[in-house]
Amino acid sequence: MAATDPNESLFVRPLGAVEKNPTALKVILGGKLRELRVAAGLDPADVDGRLGFSRSKTSRIELGRHGCKNADALALLGLYGVDGEERIAEFLRLVEQSHRPDWWRSFNDVLSDFFTPLVALEGAAERIRTYEPFYVPGLLQIPEYTTAVITNGPEHLLSHDVMRRVELRQERQRHLDEPDAPHLWTVLDESVLLRTVGGPEVMRAQLKHLIAMMERPRVSLQIAPLDVSAAVGVGTGVTYLRFALGGLKDAVYIEHLTDSTFTQKPQTVEQYRNMLDRLGACALTPAESRAMLEKRLDAY
């Protein structure tokens, strides 16, 4: 494949938060390699054979499931006809960054396999949209509230494991403090405000925290009255991730009692996006939601 401009970037820039997210980089690099392979008129088996790769290695790299080594990247770019020192150097720089350990790997002792995709990619999202029917969403929980939720959950955990899960949730929240933090938009079911999780003192502190977070320009919170959430018929917690770059498909994380579904299938993602749109349109405005939070706070 002949490049029209050998010094032109292969990527849409800037990459922003994605560059600090090794998992997201692997997915983007893999997607770009797939794009280059298709343009070169090759299929994965052809590439595996020509470069002496093990079976399905090319496919695993393209899916972001297999880290791409520098030597492999150079071989692939050469096979696909990519030239230009700047292009190749930029690609290799991103490959190097994708080799860094993800921050969440230090929590592998308490991080469930079904929860990993959300934790791995939410920090790279441009926008996070959530609906929560039972609890305050994890990104907006105070530690005491998180402790109560985990302690009262279906699992019987040691105090150390509870503490570690609380720490994990706090680390996830740090993304909201970054200069390129994602926009967090959440719809909270009114019933969440009626449940006293962790006792009155914890709930007071949690409600104050929600009100304070609403002051942030990148945080939006709406309350869905009981009749609204019943009419829309969501029934479970949903997190929608939207990425600024075409190399990362939008994703939906759907919570169940003991597991979850994480999917990037366009049809499923679109269904949940439409559902969140309907919820947002029917829910109270942010100003009305703040008034409800303050009223509930006064009741404690």
Encode pLDDT of 20-58 as tens digits. 889 988 988 998 899 999 999 999 999 999 999 998 999
Out of 15-19, 93-97, 139-143, pick the least confident: 15-19
| pLDDT at 5 exceeding the cut of 70 | no
Q: What pLDDT score was predicted for residue 3?
A: 44
Q: pLDDT class for 180, splitting at 50, 70, 90?
A: confident
Q: What pLDDT score was predicted for residue 295?
A: 95
The secondary element (H helix, E strand) that includes residue 222 is strand 219-224
What is the C-alpha to C-alpha distance for residues 15 and 40, in angstroms, rounded to an integer? 25
Asked if 189 and 132 touch (Cβ cutoff 8 Å), the reply is yes
Structural domains for the chain: 16-100 (1.10.260.40), 104-299 (3.30.870)
Name the 3-class secondary structure at 174.
Answer: helix
Instruction: Print burial letters for 176-195: b (CB count within 10 Å at least 16), e (below 16).
Output: beeebbbbbbbbbbbebbee
Read off the pLDDT of each residue in 140-167 and give the average, rounded to a whole number: 92
| pLDDT at 134 exceeding the cut of 80 | yes
| pLDDT at 185 exceeding the cut of 70 | yes
Percent pLDDT > 70 in the chain is: 91
| pLDDT at 281 exceeding the cut of 80 | yes
Read off the pLDDT of each residue in 174-196 and give the average, rounded to a whole number: 93
Q: pLDDT class for 184, splitting at 50, 70, 90?
A: very high
Mean pLDDT of the chain: 89
Q: What pLDDT score was predicted for residue 1?
A: 41
Q: What pLDDT score was predicted for residue 234?
A: 67
Q: What pLDDT score was predicted for residue 2?
A: 44
Tell me the H-state helices in the chain. 22-39, 44-51, 57-62, 70-79, 85-98, 116-121, 143-151, 159-173, 190-194, 200-213, 226-232, 266-282, 286-299
What is the C-alpha to C-alpha distance for residues 84 and 87, in angstroms, rounded to an integer? 5
Which residues are within 8 A (CB) of 256 and not within 5 positions of it... i.e. 6 or more apart?
A: 236
Read off the pLDDT of each residue in 227-236 and give the average, rounded to a whole number: 72
Polymer length of the chain: 300
What token pair was written down for 181?
């933090």
Read off the pLDDT of each residue in 80-103 and give the average, rounded to a whole number: 90
Asked if 30 and 68 touch (Cβ cutoff 8 Å), the reply is yes
| pLDDT at 241 exceeding the cut of 50 | yes
